[in-house]
Amino acid sequence: MNWDARQLLAAAQLAADRAAAFLLEEEGRRGPDQWSEKGRADFVTEVDRESERMISETLLAAAPGSTVVGEELTPSGATSGLTWVVDPLDGTTNYLHRFPFYAVSIGAVVDGQPVAGVVHHVSLNIRYHAVAGGGAFQNGKPIHVSGVTRPQQALIGTGFPFKFVDQLPVYQAQFAAVIAGSGGLRRPGSAALDFCEVAAGRFDGFWELVLAPWDIAAGALIVREAGGLVTGLDGERDVIRHGSIVAGNPAIHAWLMELLNGAART
């Protein structure tokens, strides 16, 4: 079946808006006794699950026969045809602590290729979107990666490998190298939004050692459509998978790739 990317974008935006409204309504209503741990420091609540159910219902109604791959309810699924790759609440720990940096992320992937993506920054009501070949946008206005080329001036985003403490020695070496070579380092706590900060030119680069497809599908497309690069640490462009991520404007991406791989070998 041929899918129109603009129609897929509209469905993703509708689903993200519904989920964002629900998340705002429920914020602050779940105490620690209602938090479940999927893994070490990896929390989930019924809010995450209900958000994913709402998103799935909206997307499947808009595109019958498609598949939803979501973090909470459907973490594996189709790799052919139309697949929606969904994070119903990226930044759950932030959300539970009412730290206003969390998002809904929805990517539309057709036969393995991302064609549309939406990331909704819920607390600030900012919506980022892109379609393949159509540019990237923040609340309907075009955005572009930064023009910073000197690492000493660059602001870099990152994510900690908090679920995979065995990765800490490599990450600490990379962290030290980036701190020493850049203009600053930030860790807000939502990979989907970190991608959008790169796309909007507020971060000049971003890396994380371990991410999942639902962290990446929408944000990677938005960065690329904003003129940036997104690869794994191995240089692989097919990043909708479990693994490492390096994103940035072309100059800072190249610098990060050399620096991070060098630090990992020491």
| pLDDT (0 to 100) of residue 44 | 57
| pLDDT (0 to 100) of residue 41 | 41
Q: Rounded to an integer, what distance in angstroms lies between the CA atom of residue 84 and that of residue 114?
A: 9
pLDDT tops 60 at residue 43: no
Q: Rounded to an integer, what distance in angstroms lies between the CA atom of residue 236 and that of residue 253?
A: 13
| pLDDT (0 to 100) of residue 39 | 47
Say which residue, 47 or 95, is predicted with more confidence. Answer: 95
Tens digits of per-residue pLDDT, 142-183? 999 999 999 999 999 999 998 888 899 999 999 999 999 999
Indicate whether 98 and 198 sit together in one domain. no
Domain residues for the domain of 107 are 5-143
pLDDT tops 60 at residue 34: no
Indicate whether 101 and 197 sit together in one domain. no
Where among 126, 143, 160 does a domain terminate? 143
pLDDT tops 60 at residue 16: yes
194 in Cβ contact with 159 (< 8 Å): yes
Under DSSP, the state recorded for 95 is H
Question: pLDDT-derived band of residue 73, with 50, 70 and 90 as boundaries?
Answer: confident
Q: What is the mean pLDDT of residues 19-34?
A: 78
Indicate whether 174 and 100 sit together in one domain. no
Question: How many distinct structural domains can be found in the chain?
Answer: 2
CA nearest to 86, candidates 100, 67, 101: 67
Where among 87, 117, 143 does a domain terminate? 143
Under DSSP, the state recorded for 74 is B
Indicate whether 156 and 248 sit together in one domain. yes
Indicate whether 157 and 86 sit together in one domain. no
Indicate whether 132 and 225 sit together in one domain. no
Where among 143, 162, 177 does a domain terminate? 143
Tens digits of per-residue pLDDT, 53-67? 999 999 999 999 999
Indicate whether 137 and 155 sit together in one domain. no
Indicate whether 27 and 96 sit together in one domain. yes
Say which residue, 41 or 221, is predicted with more confidence. Answer: 221
The CATH number assigned to the domain holding 100 equals 3.30.540.10
Indicate whether 129 and 21 sit together in one domain. yes
Indicate whether 25 and 79 sit together in one domain. yes
Residue carrying the six token digits 């026969």: 65
Indicate whether 118 and 61 sit together in one domain. yes
C-alpha Rg value of the chain to the nearest Å: 17
| pLDDT (0 to 100) of residue 42 | 42
Indicate whether 18 and 111 sit together in one domain. yes
| pLDDT (0 to 100) of residue 76 | 67
Say which residue, 73 or 104, is predicted with more confidence. Answer: 104
Percent above pLDDT 70 for the chain: 91
The CATH number assigned to the domain holding 163 equals 3.40.190.80
